[in-house]
Structure 1
Amino acid sequence: MKILVFGHSGQVATELRALDGDGLEITALDRAAADLTDPAACAAAIEAHAPDAVINAAAYTAVDKAERDEATAHLINAQAPAAMARACAARDIPFVSISTDYVFSGEGTAPWKPSDPTDPQSVYGQTKRDGELLIERSSGRYAILRTSWVVSPHGNNFVKTILRLGAERDALTIVADQIGGPTGAAEIASACITIAKTLTIEPQKAGLYHFAGTPDTSWADFARAISQQAGITCAVTDIPSSDYPTPAKRPLNSRLDCTTTQAAFGIPRPDWRESLTHISNQLDFFKE
């Protein structure tokens, strides 16, 4: 199966590239090969590569920067995926695009279902929701996979930040009132492949889905788990989000209900503690 991936060095794209082989031919496009600020070029890339399926693992993820760069964020998060979706629909091939819990208000404590009303509180969240709506209009074999708190051995993420800061400091203050499911990029990549394969033979399963790690936890408790895994003695003190203001509002409730994903594709929620073990096995920090 020939799969074209938009994104190359990001966390999920890196894990997708690692799946090349064993019946999968993964071609990942970097910025030079596919300019995400040029939606027409993205569509042209799909025509040129003639894949069996497309996975969009690229996004404008600088959440705070997006607050002052809405035009670029909208191009990358909304218009480019829309062009990809239309090109895939024209070829009648699966299109899987990764989205985010930021499309919700972040209020309450109940896990968000795919059918729940959206109410993004940031430019990043709004541009991702705009992209979802445009993908849906393509009427193709699409799957929008909302996920949260992505971590891996690659790029910049919370695990690597805690390892760095924990090694430098005796104590850290971490937000404790934001709750969600840390999700391994490797598990997201595997889920995207499974969904793409399924949509090839079951196009009626097109739609919105959720995928996040379990159990739900706070950033502070996640930091403690990372520190314990690494043998770091840095103390973690809980603080509210109000003590750590950011340009873009972060959701307090990032819990995602993933039951429809398991029902449709047989993909259970991954245990983030197992994901953390896999990440630790790949990072030199844990081996010292």
Structure 2
Amino acid sequence: MRILLLGKNGQIGWELQRALAPLGELTAYGSDRFDLANLDGLRDVVRAAGPDVIVNAAAHTAVDQAETESELTHTLNARAPGVIAEEARRQGALMVHYSTDYVFDGQKQTAYVEDDPVNPLNVYGHSKRAGECAIAASGCRYLVLRTSWVYSARSSNFFLTIRRLASELNELRVVADQHGVPNWSRTLGEATAALLATGLRREWPTGTYHLSSRGQTTWHGFAQAILEELRIDKPVVPIRTDQFSRPAKRPPNAILDSGKLERDFGILLPDWRQSLGLCVADFLAGRQGG
């Protein structure tokens, strides 16, 4: 199986390089090898690779910045995936693409399933939903994997931000009325590889799936858990969303139900707190080793 990975240096892409390698011949590109905004160049990259599977982990994920960069965000998150999907159809390849909980408005009182109505609240969410639609309209075989609250021990994310702020501030003030599920990038990478491995035995279905760890929390609860795992004693004060002004509006409920993924593929992700413990252990081991 020939696999083309786009976005190898992102949080999920970094983990995918390791997780996908045992499945076949892996070609992994970062932004140094392709420009997601250059749609013609993107077509050339996909055609030259001649893949059986395309895993697109490249995207514009700066949610607040996207509010003032709507055209660029739409190009990177909607038009580019559409182009990749068109090439996937021409080559008979499967396209795997990551989307977001931000396609929902958060008004539902329970976890979201794949068929729930979408209603994005911000530019980023609109662009990711447009990308989902472009992929579906292309006619290619695809798996759109929606996930949420991605973090890792590298790059820029909530986990590392909380660790940094804990060393700078006497207390942390974190939003406590937005609910969701933190997802370690390594868990997502390994689950994606497990999903693709099932296709070595049978045909992959086409469609949208929620890819999320079990359990739920708030940003405040996530911050507390991070400090507990790091053994940092620092007060974390709960605040309301309206006390923390940000350019992009966030959904109050971003919990994703991954039951469909378990039913169709037999893949069940671990509890988010378990994954956080493993991430912290990996992070601390890396610091001690280098």
Normalising by the smaller structure, the TM-score range is: over 0.9
Distance in 2, matches of 1:185 and 1:86, equals 27
Where 2:36 maps in the other structure, the secondary structure is coil
For each residue in 1:85-136, what CA deviation from the matched residue of structure 2 results, as whole angstroms up to 9, or x when unmatched? Answer: 1111111121100000000111132111111111001000000000000100
- 1:94 touches 1:199 (CA, 8 Å); kept in 2? no
In structure 1, the residue matched to 2:28 is: 28
For each residue in 1:38-57, what CA deviation from the matched residue of structure 2 results, as whole angstroms up to 9, or x when unmatched? Answer: 22222221110112211010
Distance in 2, matches of 1:141 and 1:85, equals 8
- Listed as ranges, the matches of 1:66-215 within 5 Å are 66-199=66-199, 202-203=202-203, 205-215=205-215
Q: What amino acid does structure 2 have at the position aligned with 1:250?
A: R
In structure 2, the residue matched to 1:252 is: 252
- 2:148 touches 2:183 (CA, 8 Å); kept in 1? yes
For each residue in 1:145-195, what CA deviation from the matched residue of structure 2 results, as whole angstroms up to 9, or x when unmatched? Answer: 000000111211111111111122221110000000101111111222233
Distance in 2, matches of 1:199 and 1:89, equals 17
In structure 1, the residue matched to 2:274 is: 274
- 1:220 touches 1:238 (CA, 8 Å); kept in 2? yes
- State how many pairs are aligned: 288
For each residue in 1:186-245, what CA deviation from the matched residue of structure 2 results, as whole angstroms up to 9, or x when unmatched? Answer: 111122223334456654611011011221100101111111111111101110100001
In structure 2, the residue matched to 1:220 is: 220
- 1:182 touches 1:214 (CA, 8 Å); kept in 2? no
In structure 2, the residue matched to 1:18 is: 18
For structure 1, which runs of at least 5 residues remain unmatched after alignment? none
In structure 1, the residue matched to 2:234 is: 234
Distance in 1, matches of 2:200 and 2:103, equals 27
Q: What amino acid does structure 1 have at the position aligned with 2:156?
A: N
Aligned residues with identical type, % of pairs: 37
Q: 1:264 to 1:221 in 2, by over 3 A?
A: same
Q: What amino acid does structure 1 have at the position aligned with 2:11?
A: Q
Q: What amino acid does structure 2 have at the position aligned with 1:272?
A: W
Q: What amino acid does structure 1 have at the position aligned with 2:100?
A: T
- 1:4 touches 1:53 (CA, 8 Å); kept in 2? yes
Q: 1:202 to 1:72 in 2, by over 3 A?
A: farther
Structure 1-normalised TM-score? 0.95
Query: 1:278 offset after TM fit, Å?
Result: 1.9
For each residue in 1:226-277, what CA deviation from the matched residue of structure 2 results, as whole angstroms up to 9, or x when unmatched? Answer: 1111111110111010000111001110011111011111111321122112
Distance in 2, matches of 1:121 and 1:37, equals 24
Query: 1:20 offset after TM fit, Å?
Result: 5.2
Q: 1:140 to 1:242 in 2, by over 3 A?
A: same
Q: Give the CA RMSD over aligned residues.
A: 1.7
- 1:96 touches 1:196 (CA, 8 Å); kept in 2? no
Asked if 1:63 is matched to 2:66, the reply is: no
Q: 1:108 to 1:20 in 2, by over 3 A?
A: closer
Where 1:45 maps in the other structure, the secondary structure is helix
In structure 2, the residue matched to 1:50 is: 50
Distance in 1, matches of 2:196 and 2:215, equals 26
- 1:10 touches 1:154 (CA, 8 Å); kept in 2? no
Structure 2-normalised TM-score? 0.94
Where 2:160 maps in the other structure, the secondary structure is helix
Distance in 1, matches of 2:277 and 2:155, equals 17
